Amino acid sequence: MRPLPDQPLAEKTLKVWKIVTSLSSLVNLLFPLAYWGVMQIFNLPAWPLYLIIALVVIGSLLNVFLIQKLQWNRWRYKIYANEIELMHGVFVVRRVIIPMIRVQHVDTKQGPILRHYNLATVTVSTAATTHEIPGLTMENAEKLRDHIAQLAREADPDE
């Protein structure tokens, strides 16, 4: 059996994920607001409104403080000479192996929150899909991007 990948994401990634999840949880507040609006028009009972609010608040808190921590703890990657291995997931754990010979393009990207925390995401593109290694320090992301690109060039039989 193959060993688990051992390279973790940067610690600041957890903070960024919590911020992003908190912001996206604000969208969930539209559900109780929508029910309240419908309640005003159709004279519906108020108890479902309180239930919806409780579910939104509890779900958001669990997502921000528990799920994101579990996700960050589980995320690992490892770069080998011939392949890239990714492992992530909370309830369903995915282990993906990307052969270097299939790598077509490697890039780094940053949104405004990642840039604020000096983090970046490395994207690895194949013909089938794009894989991401999120939450690396900018320095590590650039080194990793260049390293994968070099390994992919060496694995290409056409060169």
Residue 7: which H helix or E strand, with range? strand 7-8
Residue 11 CA to residue 81 CA, distance in Å, equals 26
77-155 adopts what CATH topology? PH-domain like (2.30.29)
pTM for this entry: 0.88
| pLDDT tens, residue by residue, 69-110 | 999 999 999 999 999 999 999 999 999 999 999 999 999 999
Position 157 pLDDT exceeds 90: no
| pLDDT tens, residue by residue, 116-142 | 999 999 999 999 999 999 999 999 999
What is the share, in percent, of the chain residues with pLDDT greater than 90? 92
In this prediction, residues 13-21 reach a mean pLDDT of 97
Amino acid sitting at position 132: E
Residue 136: which H helix or E strand, with range? strand 130-137
Residue 1: band (very low, low, confident or very high) from pLDDT cuts 50, 70, 90: confident
Residue 121: which H helix or E strand, with range? strand 119-125
Position 155 pLDDT exceeds 90: no
Listed in order, strand segments (DSSP E) in 39-82 are 76-79
Position 159 pLDDT exceeds 70: no
Domain ranges of the chain: 12-71, 77-155
Name the token pair of 75.
Answer: 């995320």
